[in-house]
Structure 1
Amino acid sequence: MNYVPRQAASELPFEGTDIILRYGCAHPALPFEFEDTLEVWSVEVLRYHHEDGCPQCPPAGPCRFEDGTPIGEMSFVRIRDYTADPAWEAADSYTGDIEKIVSVCTDTAYAMTPGLHWSPAFEERIDVPVGDLLIMDRARIDPQWRGFGLGALAAAEAIRRLSAGCCAVACEPAPTDGDFDHDQPAYDAAQTKIAKVWESVGFEEFSDGIYLLDPALKHPADCRTTWRKRFGRR
């Protein structure tokens, strides 16, 4: 793992076992428009504490024992294969970022054909290119908890839970906040740093700024084990 967090997990005021991921997905029982192809998941990153004390709660804030204290959030978009919708059209209806990722991974000659039709480069890169595509759309950790590797841990665990039936997980490393107007060098530096974080989860650079993770390989599992050990109970 080339990425080394600037702060040790032991410096956190809570244990790794206090971190909980909470998943949410809402959809109509009878899908309409592109609901059959687009599956959007939200993931809350929360920290809990034991019932016998509240030292982790903000002094001026309410106790969050019952529902946890938010420390970050992620969002994923699953593009399902074998539906009546062209995957590219469904992605384009959501956001330009998702459309770009699908375009890079698929054969544009079949853009308006129902389902996912992988590009030759994608089929060469992914071990078993059959199944859905999971896209890590956004990942954010609150500023005071950055630098420990919490985002990498949360991403590795969320991908494990959400990638069943997917032949690949894709993302485009980019800052989720910050003012980079007219400061391209600062944006590029932030993007490079984020890419290193996602490489430590098992992503590898693919094409046009898009990174892929192959869940069929052992490498992502090894990366996840490394992060689990880093945040193991002290």
Structure 2
Amino acid sequence: MISSKRSVDGLPGNPRKLNLEYQSSHFVSSEGDENGFDEWDVSIRWGQFPEIGRMRLFRLRMDERFSPFPFSDAEAYDTELSNLVLGVYDLGRGGYRQEFRDTMTTCDGDLLVLFDVRLDPAWRGFGLGPVLAAEAVWTLADGCSAVITDTHPTEFPDRPRPEAEYRRAVEKIAALWESVGFRRRARPLGHLLDPGTDEARNLRNERRRDLDALADAWRESLRR
């Protein structure tokens, strides 16, 4: 169970009303589909109110019918994204690295990248990040060999951090992703979630139970 660092009576509202809205788009071209990946913007909303957070995920399609070089498509889009993908993608031979093949349950599938997760400060500290990330991952990971993510802090991007503070932030993020099912692999692979394991599915169900427990505790706090 994810521990809440804040009292439940500080929640802005019933967490059971949280919902995710998925949006993706692509260009229509007579020259065919040259993009080797789909970009998904996931809005985190509370009921019908304005969004309280956002996630970005990318799906790299390991299928030559779409693109023979999906890494190149990622590189053209974003340097950080390409650096993350390069950990599992063999640029010289094309396709997944042998280290990846030796680690995952199956390599016959696409790669999903959990690239960015942001939540409004009022909703932080209750363990909702892993709950929401797990839902987005399992909604979009069907047919994927793996999900990969990073532990780079996204808060305060315009101000340099002391090394000790940066390391604590990285460790905190890594612990959160561990609770979703990501496991740190030896370099260059990074943090990977294997959708083919029972552990990953069980952890998604645990995070759902965390949400139920949080909602029950919040409702109980209203009676005090």
Q: Same fold (TM over 0.5)?
A: yes
Kindly provide the CA deviation profile for residues 83-117 of structure 1, in whole angstroms up to 9, marking residues without a partner as x. 3331221111111111112211022322xx4xxx1
Query: Structure 1 residues 180 and 32 mapped into 2: Cα distance closer, same or farther (>3 Å)?
Result: farther
Per-residue CA deviations over 1:140-185 (Å, capped at 9, x if unaligned) read 1111211111111110000111001111000111111215515122
| Percent of aligned pairs with the same amino acid | 30
Question: Could you say if the C-alpha distance between residues 14 and 31 of structure 1 is closer, same or farther in structure 2, counting changes exceeding 3 Å?
Answer: farther
1:26-56: CA deviations, max 9, x gaps? 11233869753121000011111xxxxxxxx
Q: Distance in 2 between matches of 1:225 and 1:147?
A: 20
Which residue does 1:57 correspond to in 2? Answer: none
Aligned to 2:207: 227
Q: Please state how far the C-alpha of 1:119 moved relative to its aligned partner.
A: 1.0
Q: Which residue of the partner structure matches residue 173 of structure 1?
A: 151
Question: 1:27, 1:35 within 8 Å by CA — same for their partners in 2?
Answer: no
Give 1:196's aligned residue.
175
Matched with 2:15 is: 16
Structure with the bigger percentage of helix = 2
Cα distance in 2 for partners of 1:208, 1:9 equals: 39
2:27 alignment partner in structure 1: 28
Look up the SS of the partner of 1:196 in the other structure: helix
Mark the CA change 1:72 to 1:229 in structure 2 (over 3 Å): closer, same or farther.
Answer: same
Per the alignment, residue 114 of structure 2 pairs with 136
Counterpart of 2:17, as a letter, is D
Query: TM-score under structure 2 normalisation?
Result: 0.85
Unaligned runs of 5+ in 2: 217-224
How far apart are the structure 2 equivalents of 1:161 and 1:31?
30
136-145 vs 202-211, which moves further: 202-211
Matched, 1:127 2:126: no
The superposition leaves residues 192-228 of structure 1 with CA deviations (integer Å, 9 ceiling, x where unpaired) of: 1011001100000023482000111111211111111
SS of equivalent residue, structure 1 residue 195: helix
Aligned 1:201-212 pairs, distance under 5 A: 201-206=180-185, 207-208=187-188, 210-212=190-192
Distance 2:17 2:139 in 1: 18
Q: Aligned partners of 2:149 and 2:96: how far apart in 1?
A: 16
5 Å matches for 1:1-234? 4-7=3-6, 11-30=10-29, 35-48=34-47, 67-83=48-64, 84-110=67-93, 113=94, 117-178=95-156, 179-181=158-160, 183-206=162-185, 207-208=187-188, 210-232=190-212, 233-234=215-216
Q: Which runs of 4+ in 1 moved over 2 A?
A: 7-16, 29-36, 207-210
TM-score normalised to the size of structure 1?
0.82
SS at match of 1:186: helix
Question: For the residues of structure 2 that align with 1:123 and 1:157, how far apart are their CA atoms?
Answer: 26
Moved more, 79-88 or 189-198: 79-88
**8 Å contact kept, 2:87–2:189:** no
Q: Secondary structure at the match of 1:109?
A: coil
1 CA distance for matches of 2:162 and 2:189? 19
The separation in 1 between residues aligned to 2:30 and 2:184, in whole angstroms, is 34
* 2:22 and 2:43 in contact (8 A); partners too: yes
Q: How many residues align?
A: 210
